[in-house]
Chains A and B, each alone.
Chain A
Amino acid sequence: MFLFDANCHVGPWPQHPYQPRTVPELLEETQRLGIAKALVRHTWGWWYDPRAGNTALEEELRGRPQLLPCLAVSPLLAHEMGGEDSFLEAMRRSGARAVCLYPGAQHFVLARWCAGRLLDLLQERRIPVLLEKEEVSWAELYALASDWPLLRIVVLRTGYRILRQCLPLLQSTEHVYLDISYLADNEALEVICAAVGPGRLVFGTGTPRVDGAGAVARLAYAGLGEREKELIAVGNLEALLAGAMLD
């Protein structure tokens, strides 16, 4: 099965010497897991500086068409990202079609008073936003999806103990998606598909913090039809990225 990984990083981590950390090492890992394509972030974008992380990512992924960049962005577009136009130009130049936000680690709030202009921009241009679950609560996600109902929000590494909150959230919003890197409540994937269809899930590994072999087996053994598995493996993420309007 063609697998498109929505969730992996390159770069060094301050908390732990996770491997892989370089692009060649990441490519070895994707080969080990049978992954054909990956949406990649840089750890500097989370743990140092979004703009510096984006520059490093662009450099490191050059000439690797199977690795697509996902740029980090701060809501202080004028101060930290060189302005709105400059940020959009960086996306076009690097070929990025999605962004990632780290409101927890980077201390901002996903609300109009704090990040309104950025979220308006991402919604208008249908640019998918990746959010690690550890960076945001379910209540904050609901507020975000309610205030920006057309914003494409991809929640990563949800963990377990989630269904009592994430199922109502998925049922009451239209554009919240989850990756399956660790969607670990028993049969959660099948329960979510039965409730809202397969269109709200994307394949992700969580490399290098999570062993992506878990997600590979999770999808391979899923109690779903082949068409549903393909949507999760590749189709849903392809559609999200294709929807981004950058020109």
Chain B
Amino acid sequence: MATNAIARAIAAGHSLASVAEVVDIHGHGGPWYDFYVPSSDCESMLRMMDRLGVSAVVLAPHLSVGPAVTEGNDLAIEWSRRYPRRIFGYAVPYPHQPLELIKAELNRALDSGLVAIKIHPSTHNQPVLSDPYRVTWEVARERGTFILSHSWHGDSRCSPAALAEMAQQFPEVPVILGHSGGVPAGFEEAIALAKKQPNLYLDTCGSYVTGAWVRRFVAEVGAERVLYGSDMPFIDPRYSLGKVGLSGLTEEELRQVLGLSAKKLLTSAGACLA
């Protein structure tokens, strides 16, 4: 069944700590309005990471992708200071502010230790192709960091095509398509765009992602631009880890997807990894 050490460890439910370095590029934290999220505090998430052997997570608390960006960024700052090298935080912009305030909040959060930027054009109901997000990309370029965006096929606010247009306008800024477009039609769209646009990255986070799609991402885009993401604790991370780890990728490809791709981005952004 399991073809390499990483897959065998996952099938047996063993921590991956001794066989691969795992970095989760797509995490959240805290409660969320439309369903009960058990064990969403950062200590519980760390216990989960220890169980799975995940060395680090990059997260945006639900508060920041929801109703209170500044308080959410503060929470990310607090958690990343409390657990350095295990928890890294995304600075999130609130796109309905004046542009100067958006820029100021992002810089404040990045100055306070957050390492990259996350945007959620869907929950914040703001198309990515708009001035608030252009300012966001300008900050990312100035700070030499990357952007993770929620992406969803058919949602004009955050379709892979819209995000690819931003990636084209800002070729220095790596852009991770969170959920890789969300649904199979979105995966096709994301793959086609990533093949043309070298600063676009795909993540493995999502209900519709399967091992077959992960293999396809790697075959078409290259393992260096495919990143493991879980959505923890929005979604239980064990589903995502199983789909990636048992996908049939080689051990080398798994090492890249599960950790090395994210490490490279984080290191370029100045993050201090263990």
Q: Do A and B bind each other?
A: yes
Tell me whether A162 and B35 are in contact (CB under 8 A).
yes
A214: contacting residue among B2, B243, B248, CB under 8 A? B243
- Chain B contacts of A32 at CB under 8 A? 1, 246, 248
Stretch from B36-44, B69-77, B145-153 contacting the other chain: B36-44
With contact pairs A32-B1, A217-B245 given, residues A186 and B239 touching in the complex (Cβ less than 8 Å): no
Q: Shortest Cβ distance from B11 into chain A, in angstroms?
A: 6
Tell me whether B240 and A161 are in contact (CB under 8 A).
no
Q: Is B170's beta carbon under 8 Å from chain A?
A: no
Interface string of A213-224 (1 = CB under 8 A from B): 111111111110
- Chain A contacts of B38 at CB under 8 A? 163, 185-188, 190-191
- Chain A contacts of B184 at CB under 8 A? 16
Tell me whether A186 and B39 are in contact (CB under 8 A).
yes
Q: Shortest Cβ distance from A226 into chain B, in angstroms?
A: 10
Q: Shortest Cβ distance from B25 into chain A, in angstroms?
A: 18
Q: Which chain B residues in 160-200 approach chain A with CB under 8 Å?
A: 184
With contact pairs A217-B10, A218-B239 given, residues A184 and B246 touching in the complex (Cβ less than 8 Å): no
Tell me whether B235 and A184 are in contact (CB under 8 A).
yes
Q: Is A64's beta carbon under 8 Å from chain B?
A: no
- Chain A contacts of B233 at CB under 8 A? 186-187
Q: Shortest Cβ distance from A41 into chain B, in angstroms?
A: 20
- Chain A contacts of B209 at CB under 8 A? 211
Q: Shortest Cβ distance from A175 into chain B, in angstroms?
A: 24
Q: Shortest Cβ distance from A192 into chain B, in angstroms?
A: 10
- Chain A contacts of B238 at CB under 8 A? 214, 217-218, 220-222
With contact pairs A186-B235, A214-B242, A216-B246 given, residues A164 and B36 touching in the complex (Cβ less than 8 Å): yes
- Chain B contacts of A160 at CB under 8 A? 35, 207, 234-236
Interface size class of B (residues with CB under 8 A): 35 or more
- Chain B contacts of A188 at CB under 8 A? 38, 236
- Chain B contacts of A183 at CB under 8 A? 236
- Docked complex Cα distance between A31 and B211 (Å): 15
Tell me whether A31 and B1 are in contact (CB under 8 A).
yes
Q: Shortest Cβ distance from B267 into chain A, in angstroms?
A: 28
With contact pairs A34-B1, A217-B11 given, residues A187 and B243 touching in the complex (Cβ less than 8 Å): no
- Docked complex Cα distance between A32 and B245 (Å): 12
Tell me whether A164 and B239 are in contact (CB under 8 A).
no
A221: contacting residue among B13, B34, B232, B234, CB under 8 A? B13
- Chain B contacts of A187 at CB under 8 A? 38-39, 48, 233, 236
- Docked complex Cα distance between A188 and B13 (Å): 17
With contact pairs A185-B35, A218-B239 given, residues A213 and B232 touching in the complex (Cβ less than 8 Å): no
Q: Shortest Cβ distance from B10 into chain A, in angstroms?
A: 5
With contact pairs A161-B34, A161-B35, A185-B35 given, residues A33 and B243 touching in the complex (Cβ less than 8 Å): no
Q: Is A142's beta carbon under 8 Å from chain B?
A: no
Tell me whether A218 and B1 are in contact (CB under 8 A).
no
Interface string of A186-204 (1 = CB under 8 A from B): 1111110000000000000
- Chain B contacts of A24 at CB under 8 A? none
Tell me whether B11 and A159 are in contact (CB under 8 A).
no
Q: Shortest Cβ distance from A195 into chain B, in angstroms?
A: 11
Interface string of B199-236 (1 = CB under 8 A from A): 00000000101111000000000000000000011111
Tell me whether A33 and B236 are in contact (CB under 8 A).
no
Q: Is B257's beta carbon under 8 Å from chain A?
A: no
**Residue among B38, B52, B184, B248 with the highest chain A CB neighbour number at 10 A:** B38
- Chain B contacts of A214 at CB under 8 A? 238-240, 242-243
Q: Is A182's beta carbon under 8 Å from chain B?
A: yes
- Identify 9 new A-B residue pairs, CB closer than 8 A, beyond the known A33-B246, A183-B236, A186-B234: A160-B35, A182-B207, A184-B236, A186-B235, A188-B38, A211-B211, A217-B239, A217-B241, A217-B242
CB pairs A–B below 8 angstroms (28 shown): A32-B246, A32-B248, A33-B1, A34-B1, A34-B11, A160-B236, A162-B35, A164-B36, A184-B236, A185-B36, A187-B39, A187-B233, A191-B38, A210-B210, A211-B210, A211-B211, A213-B245, A214-B242, A215-B239, A216-B242, A217-B11, A217-B13, A217-B241, A218-B239, A220-B10, A221-B52, A221-B241, A222-B13
Give the 7 A-B residue pairs with the shortest CB-CB distance, closest first.
A217-B242, A220-B13, A214-B239, A213-B246, A211-B210, A161-B35, A186-B233
Binding site for B on A (CB under 8 A): 16, 19, 31-34, 159-164, 182-191, 210-211, 213-223
Binding site for A on B (CB under 8 A): 1-2, 10-13, 34-40, 48, 51-52, 184, 207, 209-212, 232-243, 245-248
